[in-house]
Amino acid sequence: MIDRLRARMPGLAALALALAFAAVTPPLAAQQPAPTPPRGMSAIKQTDLRRDLYAIASDAMRGREAGTLDELRASIWEADQARKAGLQPAGEDGTYFQWFKMKRTRLSPSSVIAVGGRTLTLWKDVAASGTVESDVHAPTVFAGDASDTSIDVRGKVAIATLVPPPPGTRQFEGVYSPEWHYARAAIAAEGLALTRRGAVAVILVADSIGDVAFDAVTAVSSRGFYDVDDSATTAAGGRYGSIGRGPPVLLAHRALLDALRPNGQNAEVRLVTESFDYPSVNVIAKVRGTDPKLRDEYVMFSSHTDHDGVRFPMAGDSIWNGADDNGSTTVAILAIGRAFVKQPAKRSALFIWHGAEERGLLGSRYHAVHPVVPLHQIVAVLNGDLIGRNNPDTASLLGVQPPHRNSADLVRMALAANAATGKFVLDSTWDRPTHPEGWYFRSDHVPYVRHGVPALMYSTNLHPDYHTPRDEPSRIDYAKLTRMTDWMYETGWLVANAAKRPAVDPGFKLER
Ligand SMILES: [Zn+2]
């Protein structure tokens, strides 16, 4: 599941919406009688899910960051498990792999920031708030907390102390990483105010919360942004970043206040960007269907391999294991693969572990444009992301209600499957366009929806360990993960054997 920022939320204004998490309601309870579970379901075992998740989310996998050897190691592990489970390769050249290039653009280490002859090291003393190019040479002016607008900052490098973001962007209760959200909102608001007053660069000296968030701002901003290095994919849209325009805005450590405060110091802010390629990979496998007429149609189960890698330590732990995100679905669809091997369906089943989801849904964007089977032969995408935490009896199904629902047929099958398996009380709030997290847009089903494939996302939603080193296999509810796996499998089974493939709702159009 990607960060809100990379998912291009409508902006911090969205946070102004009260985080009124509506009570969990069961408006979507299925009416259909429960079908008998298919024989293959006995191949889905809690002990397998636990064993596999302890492997894929172990410290040895080093957080599986996209474009690194760690993601490749995890991908090879997945292909190995798929082969052992009896799934056939469905990638390129008879392998389980579909390779693609990611293009990363970031601020270069050759960037120079200096004030009064003192060099400030990027990502150590100061953090840039975005990937922006600049070549500024100007004197400094200390603008206090930026509230005194009579201070003339025009043509100068404005130094100011970070102040809390304005009301309306301050609802950080109940979202993950509140310090990071605070810092981003505060930097954005104050940086904008000072550049509007004519500053050619802004250096904000962190307050106590901003200082806590410094490592997180660095971890996100220093990575820059990523895209797929493939013209067909970029032409299909959905990019997640670009080189910024306008004056640079930097966050400085609090300890630098005395050094930065004097007016009229010569300052240089020369930010240089650089771009380079990394390999990433989708792992793809299949189980052929049994019906000669229907076997060229595919039900696709989807997860993502990558997580956030090795980052700054929290409580002594620097490996962001990504057990729930998205080790949980990664092992679930492996188990579903075993179920289809045990009992193939009429249609074929396709299994994909996407690369580089956390860097902007890159693997799914690439595969939606370069599918291993014609896209119109993929009758449904069942994607999961974070499916093993929170209350044992609740879950979310995303894409069940307008404006996100693109196939009422598929929704009916998924609800019937829930009634037959997990019997979860469905929390419909996460599927609403007004949900402050914008949850629907943050995983790998989205590119397929944009290309007209019926799709759903299964999730057990956010928790305080999301995108931290605390997302560990020991914190997963394995009984719940098993029920979620059963539910995804049962849905796919119903789709794979249905006389008619699920139709796309007439007039569906994904806005945003
Ligand atoms: Zn994630």
Spatial contact of 346 and 494, defined as CB atoms under 8 Å apart: no
- Alpha carbon of 466 to ligand 1 centroid (Å): 7
- Alpha carbon of 288 to ligand 1 centroid (Å): 31
- Alpha carbon of 177 to ligand 1 centroid (Å): 13
- Alpha carbon of 153 to ligand 1 centroid (Å): 40
Query: To 5 degrees, how large is the angle CA 436–CA 439–CA 442?
Result: 130
- Alpha carbon of 3 to ligand 1 centroid (Å): 6
Sign of the Cα torsion 428, 401, 351, 502 reads: positive
191 CB neighbour count, 10 Å cutoff? 27
- Alpha carbon of 265 to ligand 1 centroid (Å): 42
- Alpha carbon of 5 to ligand 1 centroid (Å): 12
Give the pLDDT of residue 400. 96
84: left (phi over 0), alpha (psi -120 to 50) or beta: alpha
- Alpha carbon of 84 to ligand 1 centroid (Å): 27
Query: To 5 degrees, how large is the angle CA 196–CA 197–CA 199?
Result: 90
- Alpha carbon of 442 to ligand 1 centroid (Å): 8
Distance in angstroms (rounded) separating the CA atoms of residues 167 and 392:
36
- Alpha carbon of 509 to ligand 1 centroid (Å): 25
Distance in angstroms (rounded) separating the CA atoms of residues 186 and 251:
10
Give the pLDDT of residue 176. 63
Give the pLDDT of residue 12. 30
- Alpha carbon of 9 to ligand 1 centroid (Å): 15
Rg (CA), the chain: 24
- Alpha carbon of 4 to ligand 1 centroid (Å): 10
Give the pLDDT of residue 8. 46
Query: To 5 degrees, how large is the angle CA 110–CA 111–CA 113?
Result: 130
- Alpha carbon of 360 to ligand 1 centroid (Å): 10
119 beta partners: 114
- Alpha carbon of 260 to ligand 1 centroid (Å): 37
**This model's pTM is above 0.75:** yes
Spatial contact of 333 and 351, defined as CB atoms under 8 Å apart: yes
Q: How far is CA 88 from CA 219, 337, 373, in A?
A: 38, 10, 14
Distance in angstroms (rounded) separating the CA atoms of residues 278 and 229:
9
- Alpha carbon of 358 to ligand 1 centroid (Å): 6
What is the 8-class DSSP label of residue 460?
A: -
- Alpha carbon of 219 to ligand 1 centroid (Å): 14
What is the 8-class DSSP label of residue 326?
A: I
- Alpha carbon of 499 to ligand 1 centroid (Å): 36
- Alpha carbon of 173 to ligand 1 centroid (Å): 20
What is the 8-class DSSP label of residue 418?
A: H
- Alpha carbon of 467 to ligand 1 centroid (Å): 6
- Alpha carbon of 488 to ligand 1 centroid (Å): 20
The residue written with tokens 């929290």 in the block is: 314
Distance in angstroms (rounded) separating the CA atoms of residues 370 and 232:
9
Rounded average pLDDT per 10-residue block, the chain, 512 residues: 62 32 40 70 98 98 97 98 98 98 95 97 96 97 97 98 83 66 93 97 96 91 93 85 90 97 98 96 98 98 97 90 98 98 98 97 98 98 98 97 96 97 95 89 96 97 92 98 98 98 94 73
End-to-end CA, the chain: 18
Burial 451-466 (b: 16+ CB within 10 A, else e): bebbbbbbbbbbbebb
Identify which of 165, 110, 113, 163 has the alpha carbon closest to the alpha carbon of residue 140: 113
- Alpha carbon of 202 to ligand 1 centroid (Å): 31
- Alpha carbon of 425 to ligand 1 centroid (Å): 24
Give the pLDDT of residue 29. 45
